[in-house]
Amino acid sequence: MYDAVKREVFEETGLNVLEIFPDIKTKKYSPRDDGFFTFHAFCSQQQIKDGKPRIGFVFIFRVEDKEPKAQQVECKDIRWIKKSKLKKNT
């Protein structure tokens, strides 16, 4: 999962992920040696009505200190906004 997050961030912004918070991976019982682990996302969501059922994960991470370069085929209407401008859910 963490490798997929890093790959997607790089593909869409050109930035390398340096850290993911929290970076918690727990090795689990793996009788078939399949490398099973548990990860902690910031939050997760599940769509249960309309469209295809899906589960999504949200991560908090730190990236290298340089300007992102949006990949036109990956992003639409990309822009930076201040954290204070984000609407808080209540």
Would residue 38 count as lying in a domain? yes
Residue 57 burial by Cβ neighbours in a 10 Å radius (0-12, 13-18, 19+): middle
For the chain, what's the residue count? Answer: 90
Would residue 63 count as lying in a domain? yes
Would residue 90 count as lying in a domain? no
What pTM does this model have?
0.66
pLDDT digits (tens, 9 = 90+) for 7-35: 999 988 889 999 998 877 676 667 777 76
Would residue 80 count as lying in a domain? yes
Average pLDDT over residues 64-73: 84
User: Which domain does 27 fall in, by range?
Assistant: 2-85
